[in-house]
Amino acid sequence: MEINFEHHQSAHCENGVVSNLMRHQGFDISEPMVFGIGSGLLFCYIPFLKVNHAPAITYRAMPGFIFNRFAKRVGVEFKRKKFKSHQQAKEELDFNLKKNNPVGLQVGVYHLSYFPDEYRFHFNAHNLVVYGRKGDRYLISDPVMEKVTTLSEKELEKVRFAKGAFAPKGHLYYPVSFPKKLELNNAIVKGIKQTCRDMLAPVPYVGVKGIKTVANLIRKWYKRKGVKTANHYLGQIVRMQEEIGTGGGGFRYIYAAFLQEACKQLGNSELQKLSEEMTQIGDSWRDFAVDASRVYKNRATKTSVDLYEDLAQQLEAIAIKEELFFKKLKKAI
């Protein structure tokens, strides 16, 4: 069986799955729209969560949050289920496919056979859509891939029951009820307000303050932990910023695209100017990545101390830009 499902590649998996499932139901919602309404943009430094032996730094909201907020704000109801039994998880999936209902799944990346090797880390918050089954292979629409792909029954079971942080536990979801007409305007305003609140939060690890904290840490890491670890951490900042799914510049470009769309939707011309400003902020993040890569290119060789100072100052400049930006955005809406 195969459901007639249109696959669109997206930058990020969570937005992509929501956008693809909505389009399947006849609602034309773009990826940036999902990201913006779900308040996806963020900066957060999480020292106690180690990813690949370095502290986690994220440029977006926690997995699942974008999705939940989007659904709530536009009034779409999703059915979601987690499973203890592998058998039940499979039966529920097959049952939905038989009903011609494509479903979203949360999966772990490590065992995804079609992913390139260097992306296969133990990261459990990836999302994809299953839209049918041929023989013993499930038909997969993975939003970060250019084309649709397949997984065997065994492979799918493995990725659905990956273990570790954010273990998916077979998590499966699909939309069940829709409002007659999507109320986007209110949802956009709510989404923007929350992003402004998060980015300007008075918490040292979150938003603008979080960027400043990390800038300071760049000054200290090489003293405290040695050059090699400092460069490893620096590489981590850039990897998280440019990781598959970010659309470049730590999600800043996707957000700029959202602001442009919101400008047309709300008829608020101020948002177009702000979209351009956000694009420039994205460019600053990329400039930072270029300079950082010159430092971590040599993993253990001692680089001049000035370089770390320079990177820290660049990040602080970005923090100031973002602070001004979100204050303006808050006023504009």
Partner 1 sequence: MKKEEVPQDNGYLVKGSFRELCYAVDKDGNYVTEHTTGWTPKTIALSNAIDEINERVEKAKQKVLANQSSPIEYFMEVNKMDVSILASYVGMWNWQVKRHFKPLVFKKLKLKTLQKYAEVFEITTEELTQMAY
Note the residues at the interface with partner 1 (CB under 8 A).
9-11, 32, 50, 52-53, 110, 116-118, 120-122, 144, 146, 163-165, 167, 231-232, 235-236, 238-239, 242, 244-245, 247-249, 253-254, 256-257, 260-261, 275-276, 279, 282-283, 286, 289-290, 292-293, 296-297, 299
Minimum CB separation from partner 1 for residue 179, in Å? 27
Minimum CB separation from partner 1 for residue 60, in Å? 14
End-to-end Cα spacing for the chain: 47
Q: Which is nearer to partner 1, 40 or 175 (CB)?
A: 40
**Is residue 297 classed exposed, middle or buried when 0-12, 13-18 and 19+ CB atoms within 10 A define those classes?**
exposed
Pairs from 156-159 (Cβ < 8 Å, separation ≥ 24):
156/130, 157/86, 157/89, 157/90, 158/108, 158/111, 159/107, 159/108, 159/109, 159/111, 159/112
Q: Which is nearer to partner 1, 116 or 202 (CB)?
A: 116
Sequence-ordered list of residues with C-beta below 8 angstroms from that of 296, at least 6 positions apart, any chain: 231, 232, 234, 235, 238
Minimum CB separation from partner 1 for residue 278, in Å? 10
Helix or strand run (H / E) with residue 333: none
Q: Which 8-state DSSP code applies to residue 244?
A: T
Q: Which is nearer to partner 1, 18 or 76 (CB)?
A: 18
- In three-state secondary structure terms, 130 is strand
- Helices of type H across 29-173: 31-37, 65-74, 86-98, 153-160
Minimum CB separation from partner 1 for residue 75, in Å? 26
Minimum CB separation from partner 1 for residue 13, in Å? 11
Q: Which is nearer to partner 1, 132 or 282 (CB)?
A: 282
Q: Which is nearer to partner 1, 10 or 141 (CB)?
A: 10
CA distance 47 to 224: 15
Minimum CB separation from partner 1 for residue 212, in Å? 22
Residue type, 6: E
Residue type, 201: A
Beta-bridged to residue 299, according to DSSP, are none
Q: Which is nearer to partner 1, 175 or 247 (CB)?
A: 247
Q: Which is nearer to partner 1, 174 or 231 (CB)?
A: 231
- Tokens 């999703």 map to which residue? 78
Minimum CB separation from partner 1 for residue 2, in Å? 25
